[in-house]
A = this chain, B = another copy of it.
């Protein structure tokens, strides 16, 4: 029987971005069923008392170097974003909305948003930039904005985030295989073992 991999991600996390690039092959190779869990990392930080590694200057400086080592290993682009932190509330609502209404478009949407932030260093705090990125990826920015304003979508993002905190999640990316939780793109080897 196929196991289920739950993948909690927020576009503001460069580590979740790296995981996003690796999860498709992992799912393909293990035959797992992927359950995407777009959530709001800021809400998780509020709910747990955790904070971004960037809040400690020495740690922040190191973490991007560390992630770039993994990016080289994976063969994917990654760079610091000078506009960090990005307020991802609308972007994550967009992800949740697509998952609810047009699930087949979630992956192309996530690809476009992650690439814009963590490969192209675009300023997605600027609504005009968000619009340009989404339009270039074949999305209608106005339709996505309307989706992000849908109360069901807003509630769903809140619920997923609160459920994450209740399950012990404190950062991103986080994976579950059954009740087993794994934090970090650097735990994909353990996730793979759990899915085997």
A residues adjacent to B (C-beta < 8 A): 48-50, 55-59, 61-62, 65-66, 69, 165, 168-171, 181-183, 186-187, 190
Contact = CB atoms under 8 A, between A and B. Distances in A.
B62 A183 contact: yes
A49 B54 CA distance: 11
Nearest to A170: B58
Contacts of A165: 58
Nearest to A171: B59
A72 to B, nearest CB: 10
A59 B53 CA distance: 13
A153 B59 CA distance: 28
Nearest to A180: B65
Nearest to A65: B181
